């Protein structure tokens, strides 16, 4: 008697104990009644390639990838989607039946879906976006905003050369603003995004002066621990619409889950609650 194979997926990173992805995927597997398991795996850089080549042989259909392996997996993968190539990093791998590893990046998709789902009056055409940070997450957000039609993105980063590198990669619609003048970006911004790790529990807060914020500006933070960062709290007090970062994490998980387990899951309040457990 043959038993159907139970698909396995998981998340690879180091450290990995903090990851909320197992809660999210576990919740969807359970509520959709699908067979499958999703496992956190702590993997060091020197073992990354051999682990990725071995997992398909053990029944894995794919994995999510987190810090510090998002760039390296793109080099290891046999194929990559256009958006992963453009961003220069991947967070979702599919182990294909032909043995090839396909890399995708769903962070920008998750970011846009989170804004859409919030149901605010913001649209990409509303005006310039102001972005704090120039790391990996910033690249994904910039690619998504440009594709959605945002006319201009002002970027300010502590290390200015990283912002200039983004300008070189993404072109004329990017403006670089010095970190000490980051607050000046806010006067013209229809959307403000924090893509730095400032404001996260254990890190210093984002100290950019926020008095330039306008009431009709939408403010969002990629940091989701705490859910309401100082940036979001201040923006809310100033009458701005705000969107927290947890929704981005939930939405970025959707394409991988669908590909691995065969059904498209819904992001709802129960998914949020599961991620926060």
Which residues belong to the active site? 70
Q: Which is nearer to ligand NAP, 50 or 159 (CB)?
A: 159
My answer on whether omega of the bond before 232 falls inside 30° of 0, hence cis, is no
Per CB under 6 A, 196 contacts ligand NAP: yes
Q: In this structure, what token pair is assigned to residue 95?
A: 């182990």
Q: Which stretch binds ligand NAP (CB under 6 A): 24-32, 132-140, 146-154, 255-263?
A: 132-140
CA dist., res. 142 & res. 69, Å (int): 20
Q: Which is nearer to ligand NAP, 127 or 135 (CB)?
A: 135
Q: How far is the CB of 136 from ligand NAP (least distance, A)?
A: 4
Per CB under 6 A, 214 contacts ligand NAP: no
The helix (H) or strand (E) run that includes residue 9 is strand 8-13
Instruction: Write the DSSP assignment of 124-141 as a string of letters.
Output: GGGS-EEEE--SHHHHHH
* Coil/strand/helix, residue 35: coil
Which residue in the set 50, 159, 181, 233 belongs to the binding site for ligand NAP (CB under 6 A)?
159
Contact status, residue 62 vs residue 94, Cβ threshold 8 Å: yes
Q: Which stretch binds ligand NAP (CB under 6 A): 21-29, 54-62, 241-249, 258-266?
A: 241-249
Which of 82, 115, 117 lies closest to 217 in space, CA to CA? 115
CA dist., res. 138 & res. 17, Å (int): 24
Q: Burial level of 248, CB count in 10 A (0-12/13-18/19+)?
A: buried
Q: Which stretch binds ligand NAP (CB under 6 A): 51-59, 217-225, 232-240, 265-273?
A: 217-225
Footprint of ligand NAP on residues 249-268 (CB under 6 A)?
Answer: 249, 252
Which residue in the set 130, 134, 191, 218 belongs to the binding site for ligand NAP (CB under 6 A)?
134
Q: List contacts with ligand NAP (CB under 6 A).
A: 107, 110, 133-138, 157-159, 162, 195-198, 200, 204, 222-224, 245, 248-249, 252
């Amino acid at each position: 008697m043959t038993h159907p194979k139970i698909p396995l997926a998981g998340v690879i990173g180091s450290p990995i104990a903090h990851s909320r992805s197992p809660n999210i995927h576990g919740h969807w597997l359970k509520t959709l009644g699908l067979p499958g398991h999703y496992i956190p795996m702590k993997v060091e850089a020197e073992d990354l390639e051999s682990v990725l080549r071995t997992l398909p042989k053990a029944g894995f259909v794919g994995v999510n990838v987190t810090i510090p392996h998002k760039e390296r997996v793109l080099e290891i993968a046999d194929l990559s989607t256009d958006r992963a190539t453009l961003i220069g990093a991947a967070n979702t791998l599919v182990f294909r039946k032909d043995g090839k590893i396909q890399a995708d990046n769903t962070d920008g998709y998750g970011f846009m879906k989170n804004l859409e789902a919030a149901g605010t009056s913001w649209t990409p055409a509303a005006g310039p976006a102001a972005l704090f940070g120039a790391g990996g997450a910033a690249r994904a957000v910039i690619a998504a905003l440009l594709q959605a039609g945002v006319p201009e993105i002002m970027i300010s980063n502590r290390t200015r050369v990283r912002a200039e590198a983004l300008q070189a990669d993404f072109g004329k619609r990017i403006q670089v603003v010095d970190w000490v003048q980051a607050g000046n970006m806010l006067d013209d911004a229809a959307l403000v995004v924090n893509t730095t790790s400032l404001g996260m529990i254990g890190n210093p807060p984002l100290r950019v002066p926020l008095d330039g914020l306008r009431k009709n500006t939408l403010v969002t933070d990629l940091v989701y621990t705490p859910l309401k960062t100082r940036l979001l709290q201040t923006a809310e007090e100033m009458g701005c619409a705000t969107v927290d970062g947890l929704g981005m994490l939930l939405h970025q998980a959707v394409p991988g889950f669908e590909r691995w387990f065969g059904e498209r899951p819904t992001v709802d309040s129960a998914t949020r609650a599961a991620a926060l457990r």
